[in-house]
Amino acid sequence: MLEQFSLKGKVALVTGSSRGLGWAIAQALAGAGAHIVLNGRDAGRVAPRLEESKKNGWSVSSSIFDVTDGPAVAEGVARTEKDQGHLDILVNNAGIVIRKPTLETTDQDWQTVIDSDLTACFRLSREAARGMVKRKWGRIIMISSVMGTIARPTIASYVASKAGLHGLTRALGVELGPMGVNVNCIGPGFYPTEANDVIRNNKQFYDWVSGRSPLGRWGDPKELGGAAIYFASEASSFCNGQVLTIDGGMIAAL
């Protein structure tokens, strides 16, 4: 039964995997047997992860590009297909957040987040799906957020982009599913990462979030690994177009 969770022989590209949730997901997929392609904009930040992966005995390579750069994305995906022979799993994890009150948010602020957190995921999915459709097998995993379902002030563009990812997951799942490509989404709750240092270092807010979750704490990035392996493997062969929120029960509680 456990063999259906094996990723041996599969190639997985994880965007934004030099740190945070992306790195945790990449480690999980590597541990399940996949060849992982680490991605980031800064080769210097990716390099230590490459070395760490090799020391752990994992099969690993890297692809350095900015997910908001269309030509670079197309080239990066094509290079992975050429170098590895195939790309089976795409994890759309890279993203940013700009924290500003709506009345202070510029058009450029808005567009910057939408480009990174939503448009880039569409573009990457489109490019990765070309080979997946030809081989009649593929897995695309969106990394959204609990903010795709609920909302907080000062991050309107982030909330909109993550909610958009839920719709994109359904749309691509419906369109690509008949061609052998399953598309699903993970919606993390609050996890300690560099991206949320500002709010995490606010003890009052940190404690409030902990109390808001029925499990009484923030998540550990490693706790996303099981869901990522499930969505990436044969175990999820009949799961398509779904959003799995992993938030300690936050959105279930009043």
Q: Which residues are marked as active site?
A: 158
User: CA 17 to CA 38: how far, in whole Å?
Assistant: 6
Give the containing element (helix H, strand E) for 233. none
User: CA 129 to CA 178: how far, in whole Å?
Assistant: 12
Closest CA to 15 of 182, 163, 127: 127
Three-state secondary-structure class, residue 89: strand
Please give the DSSP secondary-structure letter assigned to residue 60. Answer: E
User: CA 46 to CA 23: how far, in whole Å?
Assistant: 10
Answer for the pair 121, 165: CB distance below 8 angstroms, yes or no: yes
DSSP letter for each residue of 158-184: HHHHHHHHHHHHHHHHHHHGGGTEEEE
Q: What contacts 24+ positions apart, CB below 8 Å, involve 99-102?
A: 99/154, 99/155, 99/198, 100/154, 101/153, 101/154, 102/154, 102/156
